[in-house]
């Protein structure tokens, strides 16, 4: 059992938890909590990507059978409770976290290998961690095939964001790109129709046909889509609003649009 916060392994874990660049260089991410860490351990495809599972001393005491199963499946370390609290990203640590190697996706993964039935969410400069996590959960629930993100979007591997996806990050392909307009052009070459959620939309969102391959462009919370990204769209659409609201939260707008696709495709 590791009992000191000065331990080299603990220091590295803290660095990975706090620094995006460190996680990127190492090619890993961190998940915390029994639900998400447990999902990695239970999934054979993810289990082989786990670098190590860390458990607090008190968690081990309360979950002996589970601890034995984890020990058989993965490399495991036990941390004294104060050490686990030191590395944890949550105010009330749940006593379990896992470090795992990232999966790498390409554009074919994002379209699900079948562009004619794809549903892609394209995010431009999204900055709010909660919005990104919610969009991932919603996209999975609505049957999206993948998420495409500009490089300057918030880091999906930020522990807070990863946690807020509630496991969707494990199952929904995603890809960060340096040239978002270029990547959108590649989607269009595959026959995917691109719609920009925009206040200057020609039609309301529910007047369009989404039965074929579809991609939605969703912009930054404060500034919306950059002009060069909006110009990539085949069509600009708007969500009608009443009252004095000028725009919707990015995650809410994404939910409205992708569940309309889900509705149309069920009919």
pLDDT in tens, 50-97: 999 999 999 999 999 999 999 999 999 999 999 999 999 888 999 999
Residue 21 pLDDT > 80? yes
Q: If you ran DSSP here, which 8-state letter would residue 43 be given?
A: -
Domains of the chain: 8-101 (3.30.1330.30), 107-266 (3.40.1280.10)
Confidence (pTM): 0.91
**pLDDT for 197-221, tens place per residue?**
988 788 899 999 999 999 999 998 8
pLDDT at 42: 93
Contact (CB, 8 A) for 191 and 115 = yes
Beta strands in 2-112 (DSSP E): 28-32, 50-56, 76-79, 96-101
pLDDT of residue 219: 93
pLDDT (tens digit per residue) in 30-40: 999 999 999 99
Q: What pLDDT is recorded for position 144?
A: 97
pLDDT at 103 over 90: yes
DSSP 8-class letter at 174:
E
CB 74 within 8 A of CB 52: yes
**pLDDT for 157 beyond 90:** yes
Q: CA 102 to CA 99: how far, in whole Å?
A: 10
Whole-angstrom distance, CA of residue 237 vs CA of residue 232: 13
Instruction: Point out which residues pair with 150 in neighbouring strands.
Output: 177
CA distance 51 to 13: 12
Tell whether the model's pLDDT for residue 244 goes beyond 80.
no
Confidence at residue 215, expressed as pLDDT on a 0 to 100 scale: 98
Sheet holding 50-56, edge to edge: 28-32, 96-101, 50-56, 76-79
Question: Alpha helix locations (H) across 156-249?
Answer: 159-164, 168-171, 180-189, 227-230
Three-state secondary-structure class, residue 254: helix
Instruction: Report the mean per-residue pLDDT for the chain.
Output: 94
**How confident is the model at residue 267, as a pLDDT?**
75
Residues 6+ apart with CB under 8 A from 173: 105, 109, 110, 112, 145, 146, 147
Residue 215: which residues within 8 A CB-CB, separation 6 or more?
118, 119, 120, 121, 122, 148, 184, 187, 192, 193, 194, 195
pLDDT tens sequence across 104-128: 999 999 999 999 999 999 999 999 9
Please report the DSSP string for 94-155 in residue order: -SEEEEEEPP---HHHHTTT-GGG-EEEEESS---HHHHHHHHHHHHHTT--EEEEETTSPP
């Amino acid at each position: 059992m590791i009992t000191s916060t000065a331990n080299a392994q603990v220091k590295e874990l803290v660095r990975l938890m706090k620094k995006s660049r460190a996680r990127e260089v190492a090619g890993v991410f961190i998940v915390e909590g029994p639900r998400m860490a447990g999902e990695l351990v239970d999934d054979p495809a993810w289990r082989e990507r786990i670098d190590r599972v860390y458990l607090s001393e008190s968690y081990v005491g309360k979950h002996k059978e589970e601890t034995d199963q984890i020990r058989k499946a993965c490399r495991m370390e036990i941390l004294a409770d104060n050490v686990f609290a030191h590395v944890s990203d949550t105010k009330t640590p749940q006593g379990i976290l896992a470090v795992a190697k990232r999966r790498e996706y390409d554009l074919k993964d994002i379209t699900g290998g079948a562009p004619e039935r794809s549903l892609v969410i394209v995010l431009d400069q999204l900055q709010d961690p909660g919005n990104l996590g919610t969009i991932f959960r919603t996209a999975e629930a609505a049957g999206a095939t993948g998420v495409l993100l500009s490089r300057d979007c918030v880091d999906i591997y930020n522990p807070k964001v990863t946690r807020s996806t509630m496991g969707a990050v494990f199952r929904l392909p995603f890809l960060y790109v340096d040239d978002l307009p270029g990547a959108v052009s590649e989607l269009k070459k595959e026959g995917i129709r691109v719609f920009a959620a925009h206040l200057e939309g020609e039609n309301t969102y529910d007047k369009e046909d989404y039965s074929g391959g579809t991609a939605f462009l969703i912009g930054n919370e404060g500034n919306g889509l950059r002009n060069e990204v909006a110009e990539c769209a085949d069509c600009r659409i708007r969500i009608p609003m009443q009252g004095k609201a000028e725009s919707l939260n990015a995650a809410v707008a994404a939910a409205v649009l992708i569940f309309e696709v889900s509705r149309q495709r069920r009919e």
